[in-house]
Structure 1
Amino acid sequence: MNDTINISRLNFEKLGELYKHADNVLIENETIEDINCYWFKNKGDHSTGKLLLYLHGGCFVLGSLQSHQALVSHLSKNLMLPVLFVEYRLAPENPFPAAVIDITKVYQHLLSRYPGCDIVLMGDSAGAGLAISVLSKINEMDIHAPKYLIMLSPWIDLACTNQSLITNAAIDPILTKEQLEKFVSFYVNDKTVSAANPIETMYGPAPQLLIIVGSNEILLDDSKLICNKIAEQQTKVELNIYEGQNHVWMLEDINTEASKKALKEIQEFIAA
């Protein structure tokens, strides 16, 4: 099993080589609460009173700076924001709730270090699910919540029962239901799926939410599910479904019209 996971991790890291890192964006390593993190900062950047905390995807098992640095560098450049990328602990070596604990510690550190700063919490795929789990923990702790939440192709229902897992199976070239179920088993380990499931354990209010997802995704209904759940709170929610797009397509090509449009929508969302 370990050899298979290691090969999958190496292959996943190659996503970061599919296009160039954004010009004039510096990456600085920092250890925060014993957790490896990376700052993405624009050269000559001036504080806007906002920062973005980014949680990478990879089914809770894959992903690192290498897999996501190109995408995150372009986010930092286009949004003109400092971005903190968290290399949280991965399953199966560190199953639930290790990643949630790591990210929550980093978030608490940011609150103390930058009081009054508006934090944008953002994640793709499983990282978006972790964002919901962390938000629930923040609400339980009754500490200051992020102002914005942005999700790219979110995976927030680990029970894997949504209809699009079946109806979109033939048109999703990235994921399969069987793959997701295998990764869930790595992540939950000896816990129940319900205990680790972001949508089932969601607690308290949510910030303004932007969801960006492709119509081809088997996880399409996850986006609709979290949209409806948060809309019940009468919170501002935007769900944008991109026709013909695949899971986290911006990881594969940042220069397509769909990627450029998504970047613009993110920029406009946090500027409002």
Structure 2
Amino acid sequence: MSAFTVGQLAALTPVNAYTLPPARLLIEQAMRAGAPPLRATITEPVDEDGIRGEWVRGPRADRTDAVVLYIHGGGFVAGSVLGYRGVASRLSTATKLAVFTLDYRLAPEHPFPAAPADVAAAFGWLSQRYPADRIVVAGDSAGGFLAAHLAIENARVGQPEPGALVLFSPMADLSLVTAIGHENEHRDGLLSTQIARQAIAAFTAEPFDLRPIHGMRLPPTLIHTSDTEYFGADATELEQRWQSTGAHCELQVWPDQMHAFQTLPVVVPESRTAYRAAARFVAAHLDTAPAAMTQKVPAS
């Protein structure tokens, strides 16, 4: 099933308690078909200290000095660790790092601030095992929003920052003011204002945007977007706001791609180049000296 078909079905389906269970299953099936795990990928489920998720180590991912925390997309209302296993497998292989994919609570059953709280808890849990600056936080779409929100909140309260952020097609303005009226509003084959507005309303009754403040200590950040995707303007605005604080932020714009194209590598071959670009960014911004580990992750 193509991403365009999923988008067309979603556009006709309201987000409510009756439609969400089958919609979540549909999205998971599409993700598993569009991003199956690479051969020889090793996984290990986690359910401890209130943290649920999955360790994923892809082929040749033999580094143990750092780790990736991946926050999946799905508009805050869908997405799963199982559906994103193939994405984690590819990111792990590209970076040579183990990836921990977080199974955070979904709206509307668990509205804001449940998901950000789960992300913060997972980062704290990993920080007991790795120095904070050895943790790369990555995410796509709503997961990209949650990853950036974590960094901003940590900076606001003086908590340690991740070593780097990697954001694929991040949402940045939940009011949708940035996206609505932009030329990409009707060009994306996967998303629409109707879908985005319904999902956000399930997440929070008070939509807000990501607004880092000048002088905040924010991690170096890579943002991938497309010149035709719905949240393209969000990505551009977020890059400008990030740089206005004095932090390093690199925006890479891919031509003629759907929203979060990296999550469907079977459908979009260019995603392979995107993973390699993300790996180069991570390597450039992580100290390569070995760090002492306090907990083992799945062996390669």
* TM-score clears 0.5: yes
SS in 2 for 1:30: strand
TM-score by length of 1: 0.91
Deviations 1:21-68 (A, max 9, x none): 112221100124312110012467544421100000000000001221
Whether the aligned pair in 2 keeps the contact of 1:28 and 1:40 (CA below 8 Å) is: yes
Q: In the alignment, what sits opposite 1:33?
A: 49
Task: State the distance in 1 between where 2:181 and 2:245 align.
Answer: 26
Q: In the alignment, what sits opposite 1:161?
A: 177
Q: In the alignment, what sits opposite 1:264?
A: 276
How much does 1:169 deviate?
2.9
Task: State the distance in 1 between where 2:132 and 2:240 align.
Answer: 30
- Identical pairs, percent: 26
Task: State the distance in 2 between where 1:212 and 1:97 align.
Answer: 26
Whether the aligned pair in 2 keeps the contact of 1:165 and 1:176 (CA below 8 Å) is: no
Tell me how large the CA RMSD over aligned residues is: 2.0
61-70 or 163-172: bigger deviation = 163-172
Q: In the alignment, what sits opposite 1:10?
A: 25
- Name which of 180, 190, 195 aligns with 2:196: 180
Whether the aligned pair in 1 keeps the contact of 2:212 and 2:241 (CA below 8 Å) is: no
Q: In the alignment, what sits opposite 1:93?
A: 109
SS in 2 for 1:85: strand
69-78 or 113-122: bigger deviation = 113-122
Classify 1:66/1:118 alpha carbon distance in 2 versus 1 (closer, same or farther; 3 Å).
same
How much does 1:16 deviate?
1.6
AA matched with 2:135? I
AA matched with 2:105? R
- Name which of 218, 223, 229 aligns with 2:241: 229
Task: State the distance in 2 between where 1:161 and 1:270 align.
Answer: 31
Task: State the distance in 1 between where 2:42 and 2:28 align.
Answer: 19
Whether the aligned pair in 2 keeps the contact of 1:16 and 1:71 (CA below 8 Å) is: no
TM-score by length of 2: 0.83
How much does 1:172 deviate?
0.6
Whether the aligned pair in 1 keeps the contact of 2:168 and 2:262 (CA below 8 Å) is: no
Q: In the alignment, what sits opposite 1:81?
A: 97
Deviations 1:157-208 (A, max 9, x none): 101011565421332100001111111110014xx22xxx241477933210
Whether the aligned pair in 2 keeps the contact of 1:120 and 1:146 (CA below 8 Å) is: yes
How much does 1:127 deviate?
0.3
Between the two proteins, the alignment pairs up a number of residues equal to 267
Whether 1:150 and 2:150 are equivalent positions in the alignment is no
Task: State the distance in 1 between where 2:232 and 2:121 align.
Answer: 30
Whether the aligned pair in 2 keeps the contact of 1:25 and 1:76 (CA below 8 Å) is: no
Classify 1:234/1:131 alpha carbon distance in 2 versus 1 (closer, same or farther; 3 Å).
same
Which residues of 2 match residues 46-195 of structure 1 at below 5 A?
A: 46-115=62-131, 118-163=134-179, 166-189=182-205, 192-193=206-207
Classify 1:233/1:254 alpha carbon distance in 2 versus 1 (closer, same or farther; 3 Å).
farther
How much does 1:77 deviate?
1.3
Task: State the distance in 1 between where 2:101 and 2:278 align.
Answer: 17
Whether 1:199 and 2:210 are equivalent positions in the alignment is yes
Whether the aligned pair in 2 keeps the contact of 1:92 and 1:187 (CA below 8 Å) is: yes
Higher RCO, 1 vs 2 (CA within 8 Å, ≥6 residues apart): 2
Whether the aligned pair in 2 keeps the contact of 1:130 and 1:198 (CA below 8 Å) is: no
Runs of 4+ deviating beyond 6 Å: none
Task: State the distance in 2 between where 1:30 and 1:252 align.
Answer: 25
Task: State the distance in 1 between where 2:262 and 2:228 align.
Answer: 14
Note the residue ranges of structure 1 that are not aligned, 5 or more in a row: none
How much does 1:257 deviate?
4.4
Please state which structure has a larger fraction of its residues in helix: 1
- Name which of 21, 26, 36 aligns with 2:37: 21
Deviations 1:116-160 (A, max 9, x none): 661101010000101122122322442221010110000111010
Classify 1:236/1:87 alpha carbon distance in 2 versus 1 (closer, same or farther; 3 Å).
same
